[in-house]
């Protein structure tokens, strides 16, 4: 019996989920809807979905699985509207939001319709956006968090995991509160700090614009996550404000401790602070997909010579190595420049490194 899947929100995540399902269940019927009609038409023409529908009401009819691939605030609105729609008895509804408590609470209200809601959060992403960037392997080896309730039928959870097995993700089950606490620490708080640093730089730049030029290197790299969607991060902070307020308070206390060390010129404590941080970071798993996108960056020393960048890209293109981002960090007349190449996987990075070194380029990875 064919399964009917309805995906609401046809961006990078929704499109990639559709492709992953197609690979595992080519007989499944995948409907799609997006408030942006262009995204719906594009998903249809690219065969990411089987066909687009003109409304959510049309899409949910007889759907076995409904996937909400939209920002948290939008998903909450959709869940509210689903309560008055004709849903299939025994259907499973899930989402992909970055916060879970508010979503799971709203999803419980569908139980009276004989529908099971299971919160979800695939912790993967890409430098690219939009349905045209969809890839079936986007979630491979990434953590895929599921937050079922205690009374969620095991059969429904198994049904959802079977549907999503084509993602080749690593499924983890935790409660919604634990998810939001963990996500706050490893993803949400770092984004807030990165955005605050950018604000501080912008303020300094009002008095001395040259500081923006100096920030084009390392500062820009460590704050790149601040370029994420303002709408998404507004929703995240509102819906995870409890855990985040606690973490922000703890962060302020930590900054006050550091402030005291600097005021007292306490060389031993300052050294210990950085030494302990280095040791802790070195113990973290390397190059694993998690809440924040890993950076598969390779740095290449390049001579000041016309055509050198074309030469580098041609070498990689010959072996079908895809570059997700490329940037010249430094190149001044008469000195060596540095080219930063970003790749979608550690395997591509390793292959590129070997190929370029065979062509006498000096390369090194980010720490």
Instruction: Tell me which residue has tokens 């499973």.
Output: 92
Q: What was the pLDDT predicted at 152?
A: 93
Instruction: Tell me which residue has tokens 């909450």.
Output: 76
Going across the sheet that includes 65-68, the strands are 51-52, 29-33, 4-8, 65-68, 92-95, 116-122, 143-147, 170-173
Q: Annotate the chain with three-state secondary structure.
A: CCCEEEEECCCHHHHHHHHHHHHHCCCCEEEEECCCHHHHHHHHHCCCCCEECCCHHHHHCCCCEEEECCCHHHHHHHHHHHCCCCCCCCCEEEECCCCCHHHHHHHHHHHHHCCEEEEEEECCCCCCCCHHHCCCCCCCCCEEEEECCCCCCHHHHHHHHHHHHHHCCEEEECCHHHHHHHHHHHHHHHHHHHHHHHHHHHHHHHHCCHHHHHCCCHHHHHCHHHHCCHHHHHHHHHHCHHHHHHHHHHHHHHHHHHHHHHHCCCHHHHHHHHHHHHHHHHCCCCCCCCCCCCCEEEEEEECCCCCHHHHHHHHHHHCCCCEEEEEEEECCCCCCEEEEEEECCHHHHHHHHHHHHHCCCCEEECC
Look up residue 95 and give its two tokens: 């989402």
Confidence of residue 315 (pLDDT cuts 50, 70, 90): very high
Q: What was the pLDDT predicted at 360?
A: 86
Q: What is the CATH code for 4-174?
A: 3.40.50.720
Residue 292 has pLDDT above 70, yes or no: no
Residue 299 β-bridge partners? 340, 364
Q: What was the pLDDT predicted at 162?
A: 92
Confidence of residue 355 (pLDDT cuts 50, 70, 90): very high
Domain ranges for the chain, please list them: 4-174, 178-282, 296-365
Residues 6+ away with beta carbon under 8 Å from 265: none
Mean pLDDT value across residues 310-315: 90
Residue 348 has pLDDT above 90, yes or no: no
Mean pLDDT value across residues 60-89: 95
Q: What was the pLDDT predicted at 83?
A: 95
Mean pLDDT value across residues 66-89: 95
Mean pLDDT value across residues 22-36: 92
Residue 172 has pLDDT above 80, yes or no: yes
Confidence of residue 160 (pLDDT cuts 50, 70, 90): very high
Superfamily of domain 178-282: 6-phosphogluconate dehydrogenase C-terminal like domain (1.10.3660.10)
Q: What is the dihedral of CA 161, 162, 165, 171, to 10 degrees?
A: 20
Q: What was the pLDDT predicted at 322?
A: 83
Q: What was the pLDDT predicted at 252?
A: 96
- Cα Rg of the chain (Å, integer): 23
Confidence of residue 287 (pLDDT cuts 50, 70, 90): low
Quick count: other Cβ atoms within 10 Å of Cβ 237? 16
% the chain with pLDDT above 90: 59
Is 296-365 the same fold as 178-282?
no
Task: Give the fold, CATH level 3, of 296-365.
Answer: VC0802-like (3.30.2130)
Reference 22, options 3, 36, 41, 42; nearest CA is 3
Mean pLDDT value across residues 191-206: 92
Least confident of 84-93, 109-118, 214-223: 214-223
Q: What was the pLDDT predicted at 215?
A: 81
Question: Which pTM value belongs to this model?
Answer: 0.74
Contact 2/32 with Cβ under 8 angstroms?
no
Residue 302 has pLDDT above 60, yes or no: yes
Residue 254 has pLDDT above 90, yes or no: yes
More confident residue, 76 or 366: 76
Q: What is the dihedral of CA 274, 276, 277, 278, to 10 degrees?
A: 80
Mean pLDDT value across residues 183-190: 93
Residues in the chain: 367
35-48: per-residue pLDDT in tens?
A: 999 999 999 989 99
Confidence of residue 333 (pLDDT cuts 50, 70, 90): very low
Residue 331 has pLDDT above 60, yes or no: no
Reference 103, options 125, 124, 75; nearest CA is 75
Q: What was the pLDDT predicted at 225?
A: 81
- Supply the mean pLDDT for the chain: 88
Highest mean pLDDT out of 54-68, 155-169, 203-217: 54-68
Contact 342/295 with Cβ under 8 angstroms?
yes
């Amino acid at each position: 019996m064919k399964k009917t899947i309805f995906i609401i929100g046809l961006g990078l995540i929704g499109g990639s989920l559709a492709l992953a399902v197609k690979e595992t269940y080519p007989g499944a019927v995948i409907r799609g809807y997006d408030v942006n009609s262009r995204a719906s038409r594009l998903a249809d023409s690219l065969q990411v979905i089987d066909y687009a529908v003109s409304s959510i009401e049309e899409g949910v009819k007889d759907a076995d699985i409904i996937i909400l691939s939209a920002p948290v605030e939008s998903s909450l609105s959709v869940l509210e509207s689903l309560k008055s729609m004709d849903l299939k008895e025994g259907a499973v509804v899930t989402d992909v939001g970055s916060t879970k408590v508010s979503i799971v609470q709203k999803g419980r209200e569908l139980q009276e319709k004989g529908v099971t809601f299971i919160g979800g959060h695939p912790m993967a992403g890409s430098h690219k956006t939009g349905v045209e960037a969809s890839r079936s392997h986007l979630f491979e080896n990434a953590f895929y968090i599921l937050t079922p309730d205690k009374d969620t039928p095991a059969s429904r959870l198994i049904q959802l995991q079977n549907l999503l097995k084509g993602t080749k993700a690593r499924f983890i089950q935790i409660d919604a509160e634990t998810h939001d606490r963990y996500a706050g620490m490893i993803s949400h708080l770092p984004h807030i700090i990165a955005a605050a640093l950018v604000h501080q730089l912008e303020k300094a730049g009002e008095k001395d614009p040259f500081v923006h030029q100096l920030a084009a290197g390392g500062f820009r790299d460590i704050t790149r996550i601040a370029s994420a969607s303002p709408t998404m991060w507004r929703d995240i902070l509102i819906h995870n404000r409890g855990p985040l307020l606690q973490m922000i308070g703890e962060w302020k206390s930590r900054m006050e401790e550091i402030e005291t060390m600097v005021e007292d010129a306490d060389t031993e404590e300052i050294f210990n602070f950085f030494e302990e941080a280095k040791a802790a970071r070195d113990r973290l798993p390397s190059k694993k997909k998690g809440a924040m996108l890993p950076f598969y960056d390779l740095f290449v020393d390049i001579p000041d010579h016309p055509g050198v960048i074309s030469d580098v890209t041609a070498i990689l293109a010959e072996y079908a190595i895809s570059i997700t981002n490329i940037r010249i960090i430094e190149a001044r007349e008469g000195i060596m420049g540095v080219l930063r190449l970003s790749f979608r996987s550690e395997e591509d990075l390793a292959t590129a490194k070997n190929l370029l070194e065979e062509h006498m380029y000096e390369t090194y990875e980010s720490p």
